Amino acid sequence: MYDIGFLNGDIYVEGHFFRRNIYISADKIALITEAIETAAEVIDCSGLKIMPGFIDPHVHMALNVGEFTSADDFESGTCAAAFGGVTTILDFLDPIQTLSEFQTVMERRLKEAEGACLDYSFHLTLGNFKALNEIPELLSKAYNRGINSVKVFTTYSDSDRKCSDEIIAAILGTDMLLMAHSENDELVNTAHEEVASFEEARPVLAEMSAVAKLAEIAAYEKGCLYIVHTSAGSTVEMMAKRYSDLLGKRIFLESCPQYFYLTNQSFKGRDGRKFLLAPPLRSEEEQYKLRKQLHRLSTIGTDHCPFMAAEKLQYEGAGKVPKGIGGIEYSFLLMHTLYGDEVIDHFTCRPAKIFGLQEKGCLDIGMDADLVLFDPKGTTVVDSGHSSCDYSPYEGLVLQGKIKSTVSRGNFVVKDGVFLGGKGRYIRRRYCESDHQCYNL
Ligand SMILES: [Zn+2]
C-alpha cells in the first residue's frame, strides 16, 4: 500500500505529458502507472498538469547589504516560493576572503535556513579572495559539505568583493562549477546617482565584455561556467556566436523573469527606485532580443532579493538604494505565460543536473516526491503575494495558469491554495557522475 496516490493527472516526463497515476511511499516516488493501486490517501488530479517541483538556483533570503536586509528570510521566502511551485532553493553563503572563514559562514547560513519549509542548498561565495594556495583546500572543504558551485563577482571592487582573474582561472581548472556575476568593473560607474538613467551606469557592454572574458578562461581551462542573471539579449547572442560548442554543455547562461518583463523605462517612473537592481533592467531592444533566445539559456533563476518599498524609497540617489527585487512566487507563471511548456526544463531537470541535485528535477521512480499540481485553465493575478515584501514589481499582471498545490518530499506544503507549511532539509550536492560532457542541456 502506498502513502498517497495522485490520480489522473497529466504527468511531465522528458518533455511530454502523459495521463498517469503517481504513487508515493514516504518521501519518494514509488510508482508511475496507468493502473489503480491502493493508497492511504488519493488525490484526484483530473485536469491538472503534474510537474517536478521547481528549482530556483538563485535566491537571496535574509541577505544583509549593510544598512538593509532583504525582506524575506528563509521562512517567508520559502512560503512564497511554495506558492509558486518551487520545492528547492539554492541560496548563497556570505562572501569570504580566506579559507579560515568558511566554517563560520557555513554554520551561520545553516542556522539561518532552519525555518525553511522547502529543501535548500548553498553556493559558496568568494569576495576578494587573495590566497591562491588556499583554493584547493577551500574547494574540497566545501565539496565535503555538499557544495559543488562557487560564486564570484567580477565587479564590486568598491566593496572588496571583486575576484581576481587568477583565482577565477584556478577554480575553472577544477571540477567546481564557477558561477559569475559578470560585469566589467571598469565599465561600471558606482558614482552614478540619477535613477532614471541608472542603466547607463552598468551598460550592456559591461556585461558582454565580462562574460566574454570568463568564457575564454573557461574554454582554456576546460572548466564549468555558469553566468548568473544574464540581462541583455546581446550577451546571449554573442555567446551563441562564439561559444556554441560549449553553450549548454560546459557554459550555462541563467536569466531571470525581470529581464523578460521589465525594461529600463521602469527606472523613469515616480517609483523608479523600487525597480533598482544589478545588472539593471535593459532597453526594449535588448529585451526583444532576449525573448527570442530562451532556447540558448539553460536555466531561469529569480535572484529573489526584495526590499520593503519604504527601504527602496528611503534615499533619493541610486547609490544608496538597496538593489534587488522579489519574484520567486511568480517566476514560473511569468515565464510559462510567455513560452508555455518550453520553459519547464529550465525550472526542473536542467538546474538539477547542473547543480548536482541528484534526487530532484524529474518525475521518476526513486526520485524525491517533489510535485507541482498546475491548473492550466486557471489564471493568476499578481499581487504582493506571500512574500514579506509589501510590493511586487509585477503587480497587476494577469498570468495564465494557477499553481494549485506544491508537494515537497511527499508532503503538501501548499494544498489547494492553502499554506500547510513543511520542514525543509539541507541538500548535499555532487559533481556530475562521469565528466562535464554529460551535461547536454
Ligand atoms: Zn544574486
Domains of the chain, with CATH numbers? 2-51+368-379+395-419 (2.30.40.10), 53-359 (3.20.20.140)
Residue 401 binned pLDDT confidence (cut-offs 50, 70, 90): very high
List of residues 6+ apart from 244 with CB closer than 8 A? none
Q: Residue 124 above 80 pLDDT? A: yes
User: Rounded distance, CA 268 to CA 376, Å?
Assistant: 35
pLDDT at position 94 is 97
Amino acid in position 405? S
Residue 349 binned pLDDT confidence (cut-offs 50, 70, 90): very high
User: Rounded distance, CA 395 to CA 23, Å?
Assistant: 37
Alpha helix (H) ranges present in 302-342?
A: 309-312, 331-339
Interval between CA 38 and ligand 1 midpoint (Å):
45
The helix/strand/coil state of 35 is coil
Interval between CA 231 and ligand 1 midpoint (Å):
12
User: Rounded distance, CA 92 to CA 47, Å?
Assistant: 37
Interval between CA 57 and ligand 1 midpoint (Å):
10
Q: What share of the chain is helix, strand, coil (3-state, %, to 5)?
A: 35, 25, 40
User: Rounded distance, CA 421 to CA 76, Å?
Assistant: 11
Interval between CA 309 and ligand 1 midpoint (Å):
19
List of residues 6+ apart from 97 with CB closer than 8 A? 126, 127, 128, 129, 130, 160
List of residues 6+ apart from 407 with CB closer than 8 A? 53, 87, 369, 370, 371, 372, 373, 413
Residues in the chain: 441
User: Rounded distance, CA 94 to CA 109, Å?
Assistant: 8
Q: Residue 438 above 70 pLDDT? A: no
| Cα dihedral 53, 114, 311, 157 sign | negative
For 138-269, list the strands marked E by DSSP: 149-153, 177-181, 224-227, 251-255
pLDDT at position 440 is 47
Backbone angles phi, psi at 8, to 5 degrees: 65, 20
Interval between CA 15 and ligand 1 midpoint (Å):
29
Q: How many CB atoms are closer than 10 A to CB 197? A: 15
User: Rounded distance, CA 248 to CA 297, Å?
Assistant: 8
Average pLDDT, integer, range 389-402 = 98
Q: Cα dist. 90→9, 26, 120, 195, 427 in Å? A: 28, 24, 6, 30, 9
Q: Residue 256 above 90 pLDDT? A: yes
- 231 and 280 Cβ atoms separated by less than 8 Å: yes
Q: Which three three-digit cell numbers place residue 104?
A: 563560520
Interval between CA 49 and ligand 1 midpoint (Å):
30
Does 279 sit behind a cis peptide bond, omega within 30 degrees of 0 on the bond before it? yes
Interval between CA 180 and ligand 1 midpoint (Å):
10
Q: Spell out a b/e string for 390-400, using b for 16 or more CB atoms within 10 Å of the CB, else e.
A: ebbbbeebebe
Interval between CA 280 and ligand 1 midpoint (Å):
12
Interval between CA 63 and ligand 1 midpoint (Å):
10
Tell me the pLDDT of the chain averaged across its residues: 96
Closest CA to 44 of 404, 368, 344: 404
Interval between CA 58 and ligand 1 midpoint (Å):
6
Interval between CA 279 and ligand 1 midpoint (Å):
9
pLDDT in tens, 196-254: 999 999 999 999 999 999 999 999 999 999 999 999 999 999 999 999 999 999 999 99
Interval between CA 286 and ligand 1 midpoint (Å):
20
pLDDT at position 432 is 64
pLDDT in tens, 94-110: 999 999 999 999 999 99
Q: What DSSP character marks residue 179?
A: E
pTM of the model: 0.97
Q: How many CB atoms are closer than 10 A to CB 64? A: 10
Interval between CA 95 and ligand 1 midpoint (Å):
12
pLDDT at position 434 is 43
Closest CA to 306 of 73, 90, 83: 73
Interval between CA 323 and ligand 1 midpoint (Å):
10
Interval between CA 276 and ligand 1 midpoint (Å):
13
Interval between CA 61 and ligand 1 midpoint (Å):
10
Interval between CA 222 and ligand 1 midpoint (Å):
25
Interval between CA 307 and ligand 1 midpoint (Å):
14
| Pairing assessment for the beta strands 54-56 and 86-92 based on DSSP bridges | parallel
Interval between CA 237 and ligand 1 midpoint (Å):
22
Tell me, rounded to whole angstroms, the distance of Cα 318 from its chain centroid: 25
Interval between CA 366 and ligand 1 midpoint (Å):
32
User: Rounded distance, CA 440 to CA 392, Å?
Assistant: 35
Interval between CA 389 and ligand 1 midpoint (Å):
17
Interval between CA 29 and ligand 1 midpoint (Å):
32
Interval between CA 441 and ligand 1 midpoint (Å):
23
Q: Residue 162 above 70 pLDDT? A: yes
pLDDT at position 90 is 98
- 230 and 243 Cβ atoms separated by less than 8 Å: no
Residue 431 binned pLDDT confidence (cut-offs 50, 70, 90): confident
Interval between CA 377 and ligand 1 midpoint (Å):
33
pLDDT at position 213 is 98
Interval between CA 246 and ligand 1 midpoint (Å):
23
Interval between CA 302 and ligand 1 midpoint (Å):
8
Interval between CA 440 and ligand 1 midpoint (Å):
25
Question: How large a percentage of the chain has pLDDT more than 90?
Answer: 97
List of residues 6+ apart from 65 with CB closer than 8 A? 322, 323, 324
pLDDT at position 435 is 44
Backbone angles phi, psi at 284, to 5 degrees: -60, -35
Interval between CA 303 and ligand 1 midpoint (Å):
5
pLDDT at position 439 is 47
Q: Spell out a b/e string for 308-336, using b for 16 or more CB atoms within 10 Å of the CB, else e.
A: bbebbeeeeebeebbbbbbbbbbbbbbbb
